Amino acid sequence: MVPEARQHVLDALAQYWGYTSLRPVQEEAISLAMSGRDSLVVMPTGGGKSLCYQIPPLIQGRLSVVVSPLIALMKDQVDGLRLIGYPAAALHSGQEQDDQREVWRAVDDGSLRLLFIAPERLLMPGMLSRLARANNGRGPVAFAIDEAHCISQWGHDFRPEYRRLRELRDTYPRAVFNAFTATATPRVRDDIVAQLGLRDPGVLVGVFDRPNLVYRVVPKSSVYAQTLEIVRRHDKEAVIVYAISRKNTEELADFLKGEKVAAEAYHAGMNADQRKRVQDAFAQERINVVVATVAFGMGIDRSNVRCVVHSSMPKSIEHYQQETGRAGRDGLPAECVLLYSGGDVVRWNKLIEMGGEESGASKEWLKHQRDHVGEVQSFAVGAACRHQFLSEYFGQPYQPGVLSAQGCGACDVCLGELESVPDSTVVAQKIISCVARMNRASGGLTFGVGHLVGVLRGSMAKQIVERGHDTLTTFGLLRDTHQAVLSGFVNQLIDMGLLQRTGDQYPTVDLTDASWEVMRGERKVALVSAKVPVAVTGEAEQEPFDTGVFEALRALRAQLASERGVPAYIIFSDNSLRDMARIRPTNAETFRRVTGVGEAKAREFGHIFTSAIADTCANNGLATNQVPKGQPPKRTASAPRPRNPQKATSFEMFKSRANIADVAERVGLALSTIRAHLVDFIETEKPGDIGAWVDSETYRAVTDAARNLSTQRMKFIFEHLGGQVSYDHIAFVLAHLRSKGEAPAGEPS
């Protein structure tokens, strides 16, 4: 990328998104798109793929189309882009006709830069020819194919409708095609390039390793109790629990509720309104725990998920990488716990067989799906670094420089949480002997893991006594071993091939040829047990920030998100709130230095957040405006500046002296948002007077108080006036004084 173009990109990045630098792969991807070259970009969840297709059309000033599979994904992205002043829209089945007409008007008049649309809708009759009118009849300048792995039958989420996207090349031969995915093995990458017909594409693969994630695999014993213990480690933090079926999600969520954990179930069997209610509550931070099938999470960009729990084994490493990738998207430490049982392997293989019979799938496809399951099993039962396993699975050597004296320092293996069991071979012999003696005593019948564990622990349960298993010489041999730990030992022996599961619906445990090798002392066994972790560790530690200020800002963010009906992360990420709690800005200039604060958000939310920070710091005796030494202000001079359409309407109405209530009703936003629009209007448009919103007596009183106190701190002015003038009126007057250059020299709130 030439230096001038690179500077335009960085200016836009600072102005709209409030960041000052790009990751290397992002910069390469943007350069390819702007130079008119096709590309395939593979970046892990949270790696910043969206910026790669959002920035080029903004700089080029022409429409691009984003192919996205889910309405929720489109809506959240559009909401977030509009909030930073970026002209984006979506077309989907959930819209009213008036909304769709408004989108097409923006396409036709050239004001739109990104249009999100699902593949099925994009390929409807007439849609492609309709889009051809964009950009003065040249059609979209580029197509961004999000979740591109859906086009490959070798991927983990194949969708037949994605196959037809090749038709776009015939209709728009001059358009640039950029494909994006979070998870793709080398084989899937090759298939994506072939299926989309990408021409001489640049293939960019980001670093798959997420060093801030702590991976743990725990033998599954009592899934409810184990899940509860993990969730309670993350009290008041966001947790996603994945389950294998709809029924599992509901039962586990009900259990957690019974234990006074505010949790909700989420699955495809719920109606759209129910799913939206749960999704919105989680995104707006009104609930913190969701128990879901794999349908949950795509497009959910809550950056502060601190834990992802798999209560059952996922069906592929790709699924595991994508689902665990929803933790720690803010770059801060997060925990990923897989509760593993060999029974999940049996269950997945059975489901694959049933699905293959129903769909008439080829033997090659069935083998491929079973291989996926086997790869997850290898990950779960292995005793090698989890980060290294995942990196190498996706074709990347694990960076030697990342390894410390204790390995990666962020998985159960390298943290030393897997302990070798003393006398493992003797323990294994006792378990295998018990299986043999139960079989012999019951005429060849086999029994499940629970029954086996009960006999070994000396349980007098009715079914054990009725079978006469309380009289076996192996009865109570391991009575001092915890039930969960002993169940884990049995599963490990099954995974080693030293025992086997039989049956499908109600699997039981039986012997193998290798069982006798252990019994005769011809084969050694190494069992491990997992310690209970005491803390979540990982990379990406940050400078300290004031937690009181942070929590106050989180509450304010939740309130604003609820008022606007958007996810909390769209207002500001946790990273931005932490930076605010660290710098504690109380004026506009310092607020703009906060990471993630672009110009639109500074205008929209600046006075709201700086006022809250000023009040919190005043009440707690904290210093404010702690800008790190040497930190330069963000440079945003040359970036284009289209205004948020809703704010543009507000400004037009304010020019006509409309009152706040009328503007709120017309625009459809909360009164607090419209008041923020008015402050911005007064500062940027510099009206001669603001008598339409503040009477002359109030104006004089606020002006006199500000000058007498030599401050713009609204709290001080409010108290000086005995609480008789609202904070809103004070904000309007101070904005007007600033617009005239007559504001006191003291720092504004």
Q: Are 636 and 14 in contact (CB under 8 A)?
A: yes
Confidence of residue 330 (pLDDT cuts 50, 70, 90): confident
- Separation of alpha carbons 712 and 732, rounded Å: 12
Mean pLDDT, to the nearest integer, of 691-703? 93
Say if residue 584's pLDDT is above 60: yes
Confidence of residue 296 (pLDDT cuts 50, 70, 90): low
Say if residue 401's pLDDT is above 50: no
Q: Can you give the pLDDT at residue 362?
A: 84
Mean pLDDT, to the nearest integer, of 649-658? 89
Q: Can you give the pLDDT at residue 728?
A: 86
Tokens at 110, concatenated: 């050239």
DSSP, res 748: B
Q: Can you give the pLDDT at residue 489?
A: 87
Q: Can you give the pLDDT at residue 537?
A: 47
What is the full DSSP assignment across 715-735? HHHHHHTTT-S-HHHHHHHHH
- Separation of alpha carbons 601 and 591, rounded Å: 10
Confidence of residue 645 (pLDDT cuts 50, 70, 90): low
Query: Over the chain, what is the mean pLDDT?
Result: 86
| 32-41, 156-165, 259-268, 642-651: range with lowest mean pLDDT | 642-651
Supply angle C-alpha 410, 407, 538, rounded to 5: 20
Confidence of residue 161 (pLDDT cuts 50, 70, 90): confident
Long-range contacts of 658-662 (CB under 8 A, 24+ apart): 658/692, 659/692, 659/693, 660/693
Say if residue 558's pLDDT is above 70: yes
Mean pLDDT, to the nearest integer, of 501-514? 81
Say if residue 397's pLDDT is above 50: yes
Q: Which domains does the chain have, with CATH numbers?
A: 3-205 (3.40.50.300), 213-417 (3.40.50.300), 420-530 (1.10.10.10), 547-739 (1.10.150.80)
Q: Can you give the pLDDT at residue 596?
A: 92
Q: Can you give the pLDDT at residue 65?
A: 96
Q: What share of the chain is helix, strand, coil (3-state, %, to 5)?
A: 50, 10, 40
Confidence of residue 692 (pLDDT cuts 50, 70, 90): very high
CB contact burial 107-137 (16+ within 10 A = b; e otherwise): beeeebbbbbbbbeebbeeeebeebeebbee
Report the percent of the chain where pLDDT is more than 70: 92
Confidence of residue 155 (pLDDT cuts 50, 70, 90): low
Q: Are 38 and 198 in contact (CB under 8 A)?
A: yes
Say if residue 117's pLDDT is above 80: yes
Confidence of residue 644 (pLDDT cuts 50, 70, 90): low
Mean pLDDT, to the nearest integer, of 216-227? 88
Say if residue 194's pLDDT is above 70: yes
Say if residue 442's pLDDT is above 70: yes
Greatest mean pLDDT among 271-285, 378-392, 577-591, 645-659 lies in 577-591
- Separation of alpha carbons 69 and 146, rounded Å: 8
Q: Can you give the pLDDT at residue 633?
A: 63
Q: Can you give the pLDDT at residue 109?
A: 83
Q: Can you give the pLDDT at residue 579?
A: 93
Number of helices (H) and strands (E), helices first, in the chain? 33, 17
Q: Can you give the pLDDT at residue 640?
A: 45
- Pairing label, strands 238-242, 176-181: unpaired
- Separation of alpha carbons 713 and 181, rounded Å: 47
- Encode pLDDT of 516-539 as tens digits: 999 999 999 988 776 655 444 444
Q: Are 286 and 312 in contact (CB under 8 A)?
A: no
Mean pLDDT, to the nearest integer, of 113-141? 87
Q: Can you give the pLDDT at residue 643?
A: 47
Q: Can you give the pLDDT at residue 648?
A: 79
- Considering only residues 534 and 302, tell me which one the structure prediction assigns the higher pLDDT: 302
- Encode pLDDT of 224-244 as tens digits: 999 999 999 999 899 999 998
| 118-132, 459-473, 527-541: range with lowest mean pLDDT | 527-541
Report the percent of the chain where pLDDT is more than 90: 42
Confidence of residue 723 (pLDDT cuts 50, 70, 90): confident
- Considering only residues 385 and 337, tell me which one the structure prediction assigns the higher pLDDT: 337
Confidence of residue 431 (pLDDT cuts 50, 70, 90): very high
547-564 helix and 599-620 helix, angle to the nearest 10 degrees: 140
Q: Are 114 and 66 in contact (CB under 8 A)?
A: yes
Q: Can you give the pLDDT at residue 747?
A: 47
Q: Can you give the pLDDT at residue 523?
A: 94
pTM of this prediction? 0.68
- Considering only residues 654 and 219, tell me which one the structure prediction assigns the higher pLDDT: 654
Q: Can you give the pLDDT at residue 232?
A: 94
Say if residue 427's pLDDT is above 90: yes
DSSP, res 14: I
DSSP, res 213: E
Q: Of 2, 43, 5, 3, whose CA–CA distance to 24 is shortest?
A: 43
